[in-house]
Structure 1
Amino acid sequence: MSKFIEALGRKNEYFQQLQEHSDAERIAFIDETFVDPSYDKKTGILRPGYYSIAAVVVEADDIAKFREDLPATLGGINYWHTTDAFNDRGLEKDPNPNADPENPSRKYSPWHLRRNIRPMLNTLGRNTKDGQNIVTLNFNIPYAKDPAERQRLRDAARAEAITAITTHLTHADPPTTTFVFEKVRDEKQDGKDDNQKGKDDNQKDIDTLNRLEKAGIIPPITKIFAHPTDEPLLWAADLLAWASRHLVNETNLSWLDNAKIKARFLDSHVQTELNALNVRPLNQPSPRIKLYAEGTYREAGTPGTRTEVEATYRAAEANGTPVWAGPDKKSDRKNIAYRNAKDEAMGTPMPAEKEFELAVGRGYLTEGQAEKFDAEVATSSEQMDSKTQKFLEFFAALRKGTGTKTPVKPEQIQQAAAQQQVHRPQMNQSHGGVEL
């Protein structure tokens, strides 16, 4: 607790949650950034995207000071959003016709100026050290023309990135089991009261985390959702996400390096560290080399998420569609960091264990996984024990969410088990799960 939190009042929900979990040894504060894959009709160029989750892990003894240092950096501010500062929103007039010129909305706060970003990043750098700033990067998002399908794929990418960050931190030494996520606001929920909005907007994340806990991938964790107006340490995660975005999007090292922020970057799928983003100077391969050349990427023999996604881009190139090396639309030279990190990630085969974790996080199997699961069930003949049956039922639920034309229903699994028609799948030693 600190003055900023005390000022919220004891009736404030976040105040009460911090009191309830005051025995936490450390807390991870979480924010996001992403770039959707895009297709430019004028140029015919297809650009990949990515989804990123940033976590700032703060030890309990450091929380109060760090929290107070962030608002004090600019003289005692009550809200911060780095993107608004970069766009110099503080110089703009609030377009809301009912806005009070003396009290503009938080977005148009007078301190939201680009020149204020570096002091705020410096505060993040002073209050954290190596191992406390962690960013997961998910490069594997297929392009879809339909907006609803793009949203579904973005949700899946977020679920995978959350899977990576929570799996990594809960199994670290020392572990982190308390997480504060930014409470999302959705304008579509304007007809509901604030409490209901919070439940609706964050339910997808809660569902993801609950699935991971139920499957034993992560231990039970404390999940707190808070508004940035209530917790300045969410500003720290926002700063980390923003600065990391400029590194990945533009190969711009200065925002992180000048503030002496030591960030660790993890591949969301394999969860290995991406050293390419921490090498100085960054290598500069020619952006004109074909990115999705045959044989570039390897998998561990499974119809994995990454393989299926990359196949869509390779197929596009085979049909004559130019595929750029990253999301930047102005210069492919700015995609160097993105390309280096993705090449490093994709050069690492994905263990079946990670395939299992990602499927649980998403809540459904990929089409390739679903086909293999269907084949396993259809051709099975051996008796199975209760533990195997439990996991087949679990996978059947994931299969049902895949959305392809021939989902396997849980009752079919039960019937097959009763008739001893399901053979014993190869078991994953870490989770007792079925190998995909």
Structure 2
Amino acid sequence: MSINRLLSPFILNLGSQNDYNQELQRNSDAERIAFIDETFVEPSYDDNGVLHPGYYSIAAVVVEADDIAKFREDLPATLGGINYWHTTDAYRNKANQRKKEDAEHTLGNSPWHLRSNIRPMLNTLGRHTQNGENNVTLNFNIPYTDDPDERLRLREAARAEAITAIATQLTHADPPTTTFVFEKVKEENQKSDDQDPKEDNQKDIDTLNRLEKAGIIPPITKIFALPTDEPLLWAADLLAWASRHLLNKSNTSWLDDAKIKARFLDSHVQTELKTLNVRPLNQPSPRIKLYAEGTYREAGTPGTRTEIEATYRAAEANGDQVSAGPDKKSERKNIAYRNAKDESMGTPMPAEKEFELAVGRGYLTEGQAEKFDAEVATSSEQIDPETKGSLELLATLRKGTETKTPVKPEQIQQAAAQQQVHRPQINQSHGGVEL
């Protein structure tokens, strides 16, 4: 009987009836696994009336099957044998709360959740990972809205796009990764008040299923686990946290001192953002109006980037000041974000990627829907069966577009008018229609 390389004492101690233990037993032939975590900064106005953009990020730590057991065991052993880790709790020194009289003992305020323990945990991540194994996708395309329901919808869309990017990148890499472990959402470990613990995992599954059905990614294995069951999810949490400090505060030390080599990818064009690995980060890109004409280089019809651009253009047209990044204390701290965003937005966005993002989200943007209605749905041209299937997929996505938009339609149309408009063409990569 062959040895299951995915198992180790930590997993075996969960017991044979544990769901995650059984998942690893069923998928013992996996060559490598990507462990996934996320971080999110919501666009917001500060007390001085300055609008700060945000981003959504997915961190993936890819571990070869032969390395999983030792990496997993070394993470809890770093701090003497712990059973749970959350870097944000450690940064907030949540362990100190445990010392207070009548304090409730929770996983978050466990005795080891101290800021001083972050460095050794990051060092363990650095020792066990090499170039290409730490991947971070960054989605800068999140519009601002003061509608709470719309904010939640936009956040879900940003996550779906980021998952689309990471799944597409890793499944088409050489060698490919086709087994993914996501954090299972459970009510007691929700990361935000507006997160629905019953629906979040299913939305991720739906996103990935749509991508598979459309042929954008091959069939993959989707596993959901609690961080108390899989320490390698802590590795993804550490990577997401350190990347957040790079983006929010231009702080390179958390990654660099631990010798963590991270590959940062734009979630929309899926090219590497090299500016985030240039040292030192003291040479910001020229100060420009963030959403000036020509900032977004997008092929084809008005899509995701165009509509996000319109929301910030509308703010600037109103006379609002739009910050260069999410940090609200110092523009100097926004250097990393600013450089990465400028690099991202200066990269042309192929129509193929716009199609992939629409599938991942499950709906067309308002601009895409208008183009579909005007130029595709009303077309009388004869089409072949392959194209017909693609149009049917787009029609399904069109049905999901009955959503509010955070800016007036005429503002979007004005921004869209500055883009090159063309009739849809066959997308050979997917046998579909370019949006």
TM over 0.5: yes
Q: Tell me, which stretches of 5 or more residues in structure 2 are unaligned?
A: 1-6, 191-195, 405-422
Deviation at 1:198, TM superposition (A): 6.8
Q: How is 1:247-286 mapped onto 2 (pairs within 5 angstroms)?
A: 247-285=246-284
Q: How is 1:355-366 mapped onto 2 (pairs within 5 angstroms)?
A: 355-366=354-365
Q: Distance in 1 between matches of 2:199 and 2:100?
A: 28
Q: Is the 8 A contact 2:376 2:424 kept in 1?
A: no
Alignment partner, residue 50 of structure 1: 55
Alignment partner, residue 372 of structure 1: 371
Other structure's SS at 1:34 match: strand
Alignment partner, residue 139 of structure 2: 138
Deviation at 1:377, TM superposition (A): 3.3
Deviation at 1:97, TM superposition (A): 5.9
Alpha-carbon RMSD: 2.0
Alignment partner, residue 95 of structure 2: 90
One-letter amino acid of the structure 2 residue matched with residue 183 of structure 1: K
Alignment partner, residue 169 of structure 1: 170
Does residue 127 (structure 1) correspond to residue 132 (structure 2)? The answer is no
Q: Is the 8 A contact 1:287 1:333 kept in 2?
A: no
Deviation at 1:385, TM superposition (A): 2.3
Structure 1 287/249 Cα, relative in aligned 2: closer, same or farther at 3 Å?
farther
Q: Distance in 2 between matches of 1:397 and 1:250?
A: 41
Deviation at 1:301, TM superposition (A): 3.0
One-letter amino acid of the structure 1 residue matched with residue 83 of structure 2: N
Other structure's SS at 1:430 match: coil
Which residue, 8, 13, 20 being the options, matches 1:14?
20
Alignment partner, residue 61 of structure 1: 66
Q: Is the 8 A contact 1:56 1:133 kept in 2?
A: yes
Does residue 181 (structure 1) correspond to residue 182 (structure 2)? The answer is yes
Does residue 23 (structure 1) correspond to residue 29 (structure 2)? The answer is yes
Deviation at 1:433, TM superposition (A): 1.4
Other structure's SS at 1:108 match: coil
Q: Distance in 1 between matches of 2:216 and 2:296?
A: 26
- TM-score using structure 1 length: 0.90
Deviation at 1:84, TM superposition (A): 0.2
Other structure's SS at 2:162 match: helix
Q: Distance in 2 between matches of 1:127 and 1:187?
A: 30
Alignment partner, residue 223 of structure 1: 222
- TM-score using structure 2 length: 0.90
Other structure's SS at 2:322 match: coil
Alignment partner, residue 291 of structure 1: 290
**CA deviations over 1:290-331 (Å, ceiling 9, x no partner):** 322332332213212112211211221121000000111111
Q: How is 1:294-373 mapped onto 2 (pairs within 5 angstroms)?
A: 294-373=293-372
Q: Distance in 1 between matches of 2:187 and 2:240?
A: 20
One-letter amino acid of the structure 2 residue matched with residue 27 of structure 1: I
Deviation at 1:105, TM superposition (A): 1.0
One-letter amino acid of the structure 2 residue matched with residue 168 of structure 1: Q
Q: Distance in 2 between matches of 1:96 and 1:28?
A: 41
Alignment partner, residue 194 of structure 1: none
Give % identity. 81
Q: Distance in 1 between matches of 2:124 and 2:285?
A: 36
Q: How is 1:70-81 mapped onto 2 (pairs within 5 angstroms)?
A: 70-81=75-86
Q: Count how many residue pairs are aligned between Structure 1 and Structure 2.
A: 406
Deviation at 1:425, TM superposition (A): 5.3
Alignment partner, residue 112 of structure 2: 111
Structure 1 369/230 Cα, relative in aligned 2: closer, same or farther at 3 Å?
same
Alignment partner, residue 418 of structure 1: none
**CA deviations over 1:174-196 (Å, ceiling 9, x no partner):** 0000000001124699xxxxxxx
Deviation at 1:381, TM superposition (A): 1.6
**CA deviations over 1:61-118 (Å, ceiling 9, x no partner):** 000000000000000000000000000001113889683xxxx211110000000000
Q: Distance in 2 between matches of 1:188 and 1:169?
A: 27
Q: Distance in 1 between matches of 2:216 and 2:284?
A: 38
Q: Distance in 2 between matches of 1:9 and 1:268?
A: 38
One-letter amino acid of the structure 1 residue matched with residue 304 of structure 2: T
Q: Distance in 1 between matches of 2:161 and 2:15?
A: 36
Q: Distance in 2 between matches of 1:341 and 1:286?
A: 9
Q: Distance in 1 between matches of 2:97 and 2:103?
A: 15
Q: Distance in 2 between matches of 1:7 and 1:395?
A: 47
Structure 1 315/295 Cα, relative in aligned 2: closer, same or farther at 3 Å?
same
Q: How is 1:233-252 mapped onto 2 (pairs within 5 angstroms)?
A: 233-252=232-251
Structure 1 425/383 Cα, relative in aligned 2: closer, same or farther at 3 Å?
farther
Q: Tell me, which stretches of 5 or more residues in structure 1 are unaligned?
A: 190-196, 406-423
Other structure's SS at 2:426 match: coil
Other structure's SS at 1:106 match: coil
Alignment partner, residue 152 of structure 1: 153
Other structure's SS at 1:236 match: helix
Q: Which deviates more from structure 2 when the two are superposed, residues 219-228 or residues 391-400?
A: 391-400
Q: Distance in 2 between matches of 1:348 and 1:31?
A: 26
Q: Distance in 2 between matches of 1:179 and 1:112?
A: 27
Q: Distance in 2 between matches of 1:254 and 1:353?
A: 37
One-letter amino acid of the structure 2 residue matched with residue 11 of structure 1: Q
Q: Is the 8 A contact 2:45 2:51 kept in 1?
A: yes
Q: Is the 8 A contact 2:327 2:334 kept in 1?
A: yes
